[in-house]
Structure 1
Amino acid sequence: MDNQKVEKKHLTGTQIRERIAFALGNLGHSAFYGALSTYFIVYVTSGMFNDVSPKVANRLIALITTLVVIIRLAEVVVDPILGNIVDNTKTRWGKFKPWQVIGSVVSSILLVVVFSGVFGLAKVNWLLFAICFVIIFVILDIFYSFADVSYWGMVPAISGDSKERGVFTALGSFTGSIGWNGLTMIVVPITTYFTYLATGKHEQGTQGWLAFAIIVGAISIVSALAVALGTTEKHDVIREAASKKTSIKDVFVGIIKNDQILWISLAYLMYSLAYVVTNGVLFYLFKFVIGKPNEFWIAGAVATVVGFSTAPLYPILNKYITRKILFLIGQISMILSYIIFIFGSSNMTLVILGLVLFNFTFAQLVIVLSLTDSIEYGQLKNGNRNEAVVLAVRPMLDKITGAFSNGIVGSIAIMAGMTGSETAADITAKNIHMFKLFAFYSPLAFSILALIVFMFKVNITEKKHAEIVEELEKKLASGEISVTDDSETIINNVLDTAVLAPVNGDLVALDDVPTGFKGKGFAIQPTDGNIYAPFDGQIKFTFSTRHTFGIVSETGLEAIIHVGLETVNMRGEGFITHYNDGQNIKAGDLLLTFDQGLIHEAGYDDIVIMFFTQPGRIEELNEVTGKSVTHGDVVQNVSLSKNINK
Structure 2
Amino acid sequence: MKNFWSIFNFAWGNVGHSALSMTFSTYFMVYVTTAMFAGVSKSQSSKLIVMITTLVFAIRIAEIFIDPIIGNIIDNTNTRWGKFKPWLIGAGVTSAVLIAIIFSGIFGLSRFNATWFTIIFIPAFIIFDVFYSFRDVSYWGMIPALTADSHERSLYTASGNFGGLGQNIVTIILVPVVTSVTYLFTGKHDEGQPGWTAFGVLIGVAAIACSLIVAFGTHEKKSALREVTKKKTSLKDMFWALSHNDQMLWTALPYLVYGFGNAATTGLMFYMFKYVMDKPGLFWITGAIPTIAGFFTSPLYPVINKWVTRKTIYSVSMCAMIVAYLLLIFSTDNLAVVVTAMILYYVPQGFIFMAVILTLTDTIEYGQLKNGSRNEAVTLAIRPMLDKMSSAISNGVVGWVAVAAGMTGTATAASITPGGITLFKAVAFWAALILHVLALLIYIFKVKVTEKKHGKIVDELQRQLATEGISGEEDSNRLAASHVAQPASEGLLPLASPVDGTTQSLADVVDENGKVGVAGKGIAIQPTNGNIYAPFDGHVVVLFTTKHVIGLRSDDGLDVLIHVGLGTVNMRGEGFINHVESGQSFKKGEVLLTFDRDKIRQFGYKDTVIVLLTQGKQVDQAHYTSEATVHHGDNLAKVQLK
User: Counterpart in 2 of 1:303?
Assistant: 290
User: Counterpart in 1 of 2:171?
Assistant: 184
SS at 2:142 equivalent? helix
User: Counterpart in 1 of 2:138?
Assistant: 150
CA distance in 2, matches of 1:418, 1:28: 30
Select the residue among 421, 431, 450 that pairs with 2:410.
421
1:404 corresponds to 2:390: no
- Post-superposition CA distance 1:179-235 (Å, at most 9, x none): 111111000011111112221211111111111111111111111111111111111
Select the residue among 349, 357, 372 that pairs with 2:336.
349
1:455 corresponds to 2:451: no
Range that drifts further, 625-634 or 368-377: 625-634
User: Counterpart in 1 of 2:36?
Assistant: 48
1:222 corresponds to 2:222: no
- Post-superposition CA distance 1:139-172 (Å, at most 9, x none): 1111111111111111111111111111111111
Of the two structures, which has the highest relative contact order with CA contacts closer than 8 Å and spacing of 6 or more? 1
CA distance in 1, matches of 2:479, 2:545: 34
User: Counterpart in 1 of 2:495?
Assistant: 499
User: Counterpart in 1 of 2:192?
Assistant: 205
1:551-630 mapped onto 2 (5 Å cutoff): 551-555=552-556, 560-579=561-580, 584-611=585-612, 618=618, 622=622, 624=624, 628=628, 629-630=630-631
Tell me by how many angstroms 1:241 deviates: 2.2
Range that drifts further, 278-287 or 479-488: 479-488
User: Counterpart in 2 of 1:528?
Assistant: 529
CA distance in 1, matches of 2:201, 2:559: 50
* Conserved 8 A contact 1:505-1:527: yes
Select the residue among 45, 62, 79 that pairs with 1:91.
79
Range that drifts further, 547-556 or 206-215: 547-556
CA distance in 1, matches of 2:553, 2:444: 43
* Conserved 8 A contact 2:466-2:541: no
1:259-338 mapped onto 2 (5 Å cutoff): 259-338=246-325
- Post-superposition CA distance 1:566-597 (Å, at most 9, x none): 32332332223345676543211222221112
Compute the RMSD of aligned alpha carbons.
2.6
Select the residue among 340, 352, 362 that pairs with 2:327.
340
Change (3 A) 1:296 1:483: same
Paired AA for residue 103 in structure 2: F
Tell me by how many angstroms 1:507 deviates: 4.4
1:128 corresponds to 2:129: no
CA distance in 2, matches of 1:226, 1:626: 57
1:343-492 mapped onto 2 (5 Å cutoff): 343-361=330-348, 362-479=351-468, 483-484=472-473
User: Counterpart in 2 of 1:644?
Assistant: none
Change (3 A) 1:608 1:97: farther
CA distance in 1, matches of 2:120, 2:641: 61
> Structure 2 unaligned runs (5+)?
none
CA distance in 1, matches of 2:557, 2:162: 42
> Structure 1 unaligned runs (5+)?
1-10, 642-646
Paired AA for residue 137 in structure 1: F
Change (3 A) 1:490 1:624: closer
CA distance in 1, matches of 2:72, 2:332: 45
Taking structure 1 as the reference length, the TM-score comes to: 0.91
CA distance in 2, matches of 1:19, 1:213: 28
Change (3 A) 1:99 1:636: farther
CA distance in 2, matches of 1:85, 1:109: 23
User: Counterpart in 1 of 2:157?
Assistant: 169
Change (3 A) 1:127 1:266: same
- Post-superposition CA distance 1:595-626 (Å, at most 9, x none): 1121122122323344567768x565625467
Percent identity over the alignment is 50
User: Counterpart in 2 of 1:6?
Assistant: none
User: Counterpart in 2 of 1:71?
Assistant: 59
Range that drifts further, 405-414 or 533-542: 533-542
Tell me by how many angstroms 1:299 deviates: 1.1
Paired AA for residue 143 in structure 1: F
Range that drifts further, 272-281 or 400-409: 272-281
1:108 corresponds to 2:96: yes
SS at 2:565 equivalent? strand
Range that drifts further, 16-25 or 491-500: 491-500
Taking structure 2 as the reference length, the TM-score comes to: 0.92
SS at 2:563 equivalent? strand
Paired AA for residue 138 in structure 1: I
